[in-house]
Amino acid sequence: MSARLSTTPWAEEALGRILLALTHEERMTSKNAAIISFLNTALGIWMLSTLAVGLISTGYSMLSAHLAELSKKEAQILRLHIEIRQRAAQLSGQLDNLSDKAGFDQNKPDETVAAAVTSFLIPPAVSAQSTFPIYSAFDEYKERPIVSLVVEIAFLLGPQKSRCLTPSIEELSSLTQDKLEVMPVVQITKQLEEMFFSKYWIIYMERLEP
């Protein structure tokens, strides 16, 4: 008596799925073989080379535009740094001259020092008419106060890099003429050193040295 294999519905269904998968795989293999065969033809190679050249050209154009934008941004940051630094150097020279005068006491408030610092904070186009004129390095900045230059640098640097930037906008905004006139000179000079001769500025200017 021969043994007879019986199949259950779930076994038949599983077998059907396997056969379907194999059939699908055969179709995909056949399709992939056809694609590979086409790509090996002269027309296929031409299409691939055209696509590759197009992608490379597009990528190069995008990279060039990005680098150009970065170069423009770096150049703008550099100009702003030079503008601020040279204004601070002019103020430093003026304060040195004032401190050499007879009777000067750095532990007391001094109206002339307050006037010099105020002239430094306002636009050079305005301070040019004052007792302590400050001149701009670049003509494009002569109508702008020092705080606006700091704001622009902070924007260009971005949130991460601008954390090290001195002075802060709040610090600059707090230096009003009324406040400067009652501050001891030593306190004013200390604040200015912390703002414009800080580690941030020393490191940046060292980068510019040949």
Reported as a single tens digit per residue, the pLDDT across 177-202 is 899 999 999 999 999 998 888 878 77
Q: CA nearest 80: which of 150, 144, 147? A: 150
Could you identify the residue written with the tokens 């190069």?
Answer: 60
pLDDT tens track for 34-92: 666 665 677 656 666 676 556 655 554 565 554 456 578 888 988 898 899 899 999 99
Where do we find the tokens 């779930």?
A: 10
pLDDT at 133: 95
What is the mean predicted confidence (pLDDT) over 120-125?
95
Q: What is the pLDDT of residue 7?
A: 46
Look at the pTM and tell me if it is higher than 0.85: no
What's the token pair of residue 10? 């779930």
Spell out the residues 6+ positions from residue 185 whose beta carbon is closer than 8 angstroms to its own.
99, 104, 105, 106, 107, 108, 109, 110, 113
| Beta carbons within 10 angstroms of residue 80's beta carbon | 21
Residue 33's pLDDT is: 58
Task: Give the pLDDT score at 160.
Answer: 86
Would you place residue 167 in the very low, low, confident or very high pLDDT band (cuts 50, 70, 90)?
A: confident
Q: Domain map of the chain by residue range?
A: 9-40, 69-208
Spatial contact of 95 and 83, defined as CB atoms under 8 Å apart: no
The sign of the dihedral angle between the CA atoms of 161, 163, 166, 171 is positive
Mean pLDDT over all residues of the chain?
78
